[in-house]
Amino acid sequence: MVVLVCKFSIFSKGGIIIFHQKNHRLLLSIVIISIAFGGLYTFRFINNNKVTKDNDKTSVELCTAERKKIESYKKFSGSVKGVKEETISPQMPTEVKSISVKEGDNVKKDQVLMVLDSSSLDEQLSQTKKAYETAKSQISAASSGISEAKTQLSKLNTQINSKKDDLKSIKNEIEKSTTKLEQLNKDKQNNSISEHEFQQKAKPLNEKISSLNQELPKLSMVISQLSVQRDALEKNLSSSSTTNMEGQIEQVKNAYDSTLEAKESFTLKAPFDGYVSSLNAKVGEVPMGLNPPVVVSDISSLCLEIDVLDEDINLINVGSEYTVFISDKNGKSSKTSGKIDSIEPIYDSEPRSHTVKIIIKNTNKLGSGSFAEIQIPYARKDNAVVIPKNALFRRNKSSYVYTLNKNNEVKRLNVTLGMENDDEIEIATGLKPGTKIISKGKNFVSVNEKVNVDRGDK
């Protein structure tokens, strides 16, 4: 209620009370302004009450029933690896001298990964190189004079025979020492001698065998060198030309080249562009165990291998693409596609299953070891009425959804269900395409309740 208090002047003339004209106009203006403010206040009061009431309603989000394709699928999972992956190991176990990369590094073809101790080959390399150079020198000398060649040939034969005798003597000594060592082992097993006595007698034998074994390759190499020289000289004696000696030179050169190649194998290099997916070596240690020192992977694409039972193999076709979800090292999953590359035949095993190889597009540059899951459809229906599963109620044996009438009041629609997958479900009866239903907030409303639609598909 608006109370208007006005002050105006009057005067009496002839017994009649007359309003002052000026004050009369002022009074009229005040009344008009008061009525206007009163109407505005009343409107705002009513409107504020309405807003407060609306804000008390539950907010929901809607989705739309769509006519679309739906598939049910089976899931297969495993760890991925680079589409091309190669383990890099030395030809023989030896100490690591240096490592140039760390796990996860990108590498280029022929980039040095690590260097191993090759000192065991240094002497052999020196000997084969010397043998090659000596052979060339001797061949040149042989061509300069037959007489000198005959003299040299005699000396060489003597040296070779002497070295062979030495070689035979060393082998005999090794055989004798080995026999003694075996007998000591038998005596120890039969308790004929004590452990202490066994160790005392076995140690010098082991040292002797080890020392003699070290001499064998050296002596064999010397014999080989001398034999090459001898053969070269014999060739020279049989012909005045050195043409026939070229084969002998080539043999010695091949021996040198092979040793040089063996030494280079102690420098481990990347076989192709890729990244270091595994590194199992430390400087100063000898790589041992089942894990190779280095694994290099090409991760331009990834490979997933899964086992598929014989009863399901008809669901898969080589060359077909399927949806794949792949997780990074932080567990974040991304969606991509994978193509069936090959299906291996079944071997005698239980359960009877095929190994299926899938090539996956590595758009997110994930590494080997990432977890991947592929979805293989086994049933499909086109033109089905489909809704998100989170919009559906299942209570006992009934299924239903919530929709809204034109007044935004909640109404229940009973439905029957068809095929489904993790995210969607087919509505066989009870719902028409295009019908808007509550997808979020449905658990906080009841039938006939009036709600707000403030998000999603309004």
Same domain as 254, residue 203: yes
Looking at residue 458, what is its pLDDT? Answer: 46
Confidence of residue 254 (pLDDT cuts 50, 70, 90): confident
Last-in-domain residue among 205, 229, 264: 264
Within a domain: residue 157? yes
Residues 156 and 252 in one domain: yes
The total of structural domains in the chain comes to: 4
CA-based diameter of the chain, in Å? 178
- pLDDT tier at 346, thresholds 50, 70, 90: confident
pLDDT tier for residue 132 given thresholds of 50, 70 and 90: confident
For residues 298 and 365, membership in a common domain is answered with yes
Decide if pLDDT at 47 tops 60: no
Q: What is the distance between the alpha carbons of residues 17 and 30, in angstroms, rounded to a whole number?
A: 22
Question: Is pLDDT at 405 greater than 90 in this prediction?
Answer: yes
DSSP letter at 312? G
Residue 114 belongs to some domain of the structure? no
- Buried b or exposed e, range 170-187, using 16+ CB within 10 angstroms: beeebeebeebbeebeee
Residue 178 has pLDDT above 60, yes or no: yes
Distance of alpha carbon 441 from alpha carbon 59, whole angstroms: 7
In eight-state DSSP terms, residue 128 is: H
The pLDDT assigned to 4 comes to: 39
* Token pair in block for residue 339: 């193509």
Asked if residue 404 is part of any domain, the answer here is: yes
Phi then psi for 257, rounded to 5 degrees? -65, -40
CATH code of residue 260: 1.10.287
Q: Model-level pTM?
A: 0.49
Same domain (yes/no): 89, 199: no
List pLDDT tens digits, range 8-27. 343 333 443 344 444 445 54
Examine the pLDDT at 429 and tell me if it is beyond 70.
yes
Statement to judge: residues 130 and 259 lie in one domain: yes
By residue range, what is the domain housing residue 391?
60-69+383-456
Picking from 119-123, 126-130, 335-339, which range would have the lowest pLDDT averaged per residue?
A: 119-123
Could you tell me if 280 and 409 lie in one domain? no
Q: What is the mean pLDDT of the chain?
A: 80
Judge contact between 216 and 170, C-beta under 8 A.
yes
Summarised one tens digit per residue, pLDDT across range 35-45 is 555 554 444 43
Q: Are residues 431 and 309 in the same domain?
A: no
Contact, 24 vs 60, CB < 8 A?
no
Buried b (16+ CB within 10 A) or exposed e, 341-360: beeeeeeeeeeebbebbbbb
- pLDDT confidence tier of residue 358, bands split at 50, 70 and 90: very high
**What's the confidence (pLDDT) of residue 95?**
86
> At how many degrees (to 10) do helices 246-264 and 195-238 cross?
140
Share of the chain above pLDDT 70, in %: 81
Model pLDDT, residue 424: 96
Q: Is 368 left (phi over 0), alpha (psi -120 to 50) or beta?
A: beta
Please report which confidence band the pLDDT of residue 450 belongs to, taking 50, 70 and 90 as the band edges.
Answer: very high
Beta-ladder partners of 106:
275
The half-sphere exposure of 269 on its side-chain side, counting CA atoms within 13 A, is: 10
